[in-house]
A and B are shown apart, each in its own frame.
Chain A
């Protein structure tokens, strides 16, 4: 196992800067997810680590060794592809054993090793079949076995679960989690599914348009999203974001927006700094921090017309169209008997919201260390 460092990595295709400048330090034994919407450059980043794509700028080290210009075969990595890339003309056993074959391991030994890892992944009974003769989930595990059969320095995954159906995806996710934590392998994992990233990672690197916008442990990202982009991407449903205007009144700041009503808050240095630049802010509230309120009793509230009320079993997702046209969703435990198009309001507690400045960057809270 080894650490991975990306140092000022950039990639341009022609005149387009697909990756602008990425710094990423992955410790030995970490499970790092590259999370972001489609087209933001996750796969490109992963392929540069694998050596399948040559970076235009910067350098890459694996286990301390500079591999920026090394061939893929000289990087000692295991990789699982989105479409599995199993060789259709080889049996499952030969597929799994291929990394050993190219390293000149004798046939008996490599089939023994392939069998061992196949047993771990519960595909031991399929070794003589061809890839076309096994199910999607089994193919996924075969490609995992092929990556794991050789003790690589690091393992790379490009959306390995996205071709599975929903139930198998959750199952495979837990399995991967268990495997990585128990073996302590270094893994880089690309996904656009924030739930997968939350469940698997020790740290998540959230990417947006060729940049890493936040690199932190999952709960940190969830609790303190660095930007409105991260806030709107992580969580299901994601954080509600409502534009507001700040008015100072001595130490107090009043926040007002269409459909938003809040009690004045006591300012702190970081907020002061932000408001000096602009009085426009964004208020973010997680859906689970909203509750249905009646009348005008709550001081911090969002009000509008009920758009949808979806009962999911243990919870309900209630969506309002705010007066300003923004749509917000609350996650209500138990069910809410509300009629479509009727007036409704959500309340939230004074310590349960996040503020972002006019550029969409989070304003650190009063109690936080501002260096965070």
Chain B
């Protein structure tokens, strides 16, 4: 998913699953004035390692330093920039919308168009689950905004390289 905003970056960091590793990684960004926009951390294959997918914003000039400083951390195995490659980028969102019986069928139609699942339904509200690239979730958010959005949670991006390449 080529990125258009040149200040937005997506990094994948493969780390030993040890206490403090997230703090160390986060510190590298904070010290250089980068803002972490989203962060997904989960155990990798055997639980010994973890994968972090970090979306961050900051001056692209400084990104090289960030990648090197992160890579240099003892508990980091590697740090890869996926901003400009063709990796698979996915995100999930849960959106709670205020709809009663009157608007429901229209809302469901929009949701269906975006491939959403309805995961909760009450007389006054519904929760839909959407999975896709971040732009798709943005678009859905816009479309559904004609109803009142009660709350919204997004997981942040996860990234995986295509084909034989590893992330």
To the question of whether A and B form a pair in one complex, the answer is no
B contact set with A: CB distance below 8 Å: none
